[in-house]
Structure 1
Amino acid sequence: MKHLIFAIAVSFVFAQHHHDIAQIVDTAFLRLDLHPKDGLLEMNELTTIFTQRDTDGNGKLSYVEFTAHAHDNPMRHDLFNYFDKNKDGFLTKEEMVDNNYHAMDHNGDNQVSRTDFDHYYTNIIHHLLQQQQHGQIYLSQNNERDLLFQYH
């Protein structure tokens, strides 16, 4: 009986965790699919968002610029660090838009479907959470070092 209760509890926690991740990814996609709202992401949509968020016009996003539009995202800090491949504290268009877009566009048709986006970002979030569980990154919903990629 103890094992059954434990299994049910673990299943509940896993289901809730999965639901939370799906909700974060869903919100991110809806914020990125600008014009037209067609369920497909195109490179120009992500480039437009990057340019809008680059408030000082220097061609890169600082952590402040990145998080100004991700304030409701509990994973924004670790996502910023994940995307910052050269670890210089800024996200270039190549790091933020080009690399991610090409990784999502599996067939090279210059369109990222909702399924492609969901799969890509869900995998990133799972990877970051796994690192967090192994003590490699810090995650706190009440800390300024929170993380995740949502624009708007």
Structure 2
Amino acid sequence: MGNSFVDFPEKKQNLIAPGYDRSQKVTPPWIFSSFKASEGIKTTPTDLVQFVNGFLDKPALDSSLMGEQMQKSFNDRLGIQMGWHTIHMNDFDILTHTGKTSGHSAFVGLVRETNTAVIILANSWVGTDDLGLQILRMINYNWKRIKA
């Protein structure tokens, strides 16, 4: 993951697409030392695919991380584990994580049981959560509508 970073080196600035705010004006990426672990992470689609593949590689993940996981359930369908939001849908769990600043938004969603994932990066403040979840549900239900 050679193109993921929290510091903003001069030589990597060309990797960041310009972001747009609510009035559709160019806005710079957020750079806050106190938020490096959340709003400070910068990456590329290639690196995100590599990251997601690590989660889809179930045996490797189970042996290294999943045995030590912490879970918090909000109800029968929604929870959080290891920083991922979990949505229990029928036979499997959808894991999602999102990010949003004034000029960029991101969605990563995956279903380990079906080995599927969706990654959406946008250079807009408009969130990508709903679109990402809809695509992931369509892929896993053969494009059929389901009752929630």
- TM bin, normalised by shorter chain, reads under 0.3
Higher relative contact order (CA 8 A, sep 6+): 1
Query: TM-score normalized by structure 2?
Result: 0.28
The structure with the largest strand share of the pair is 2
Query: TM-score normalized by structure 1?
Result: 0.27
The structure with the largest helix share of the pair is 1
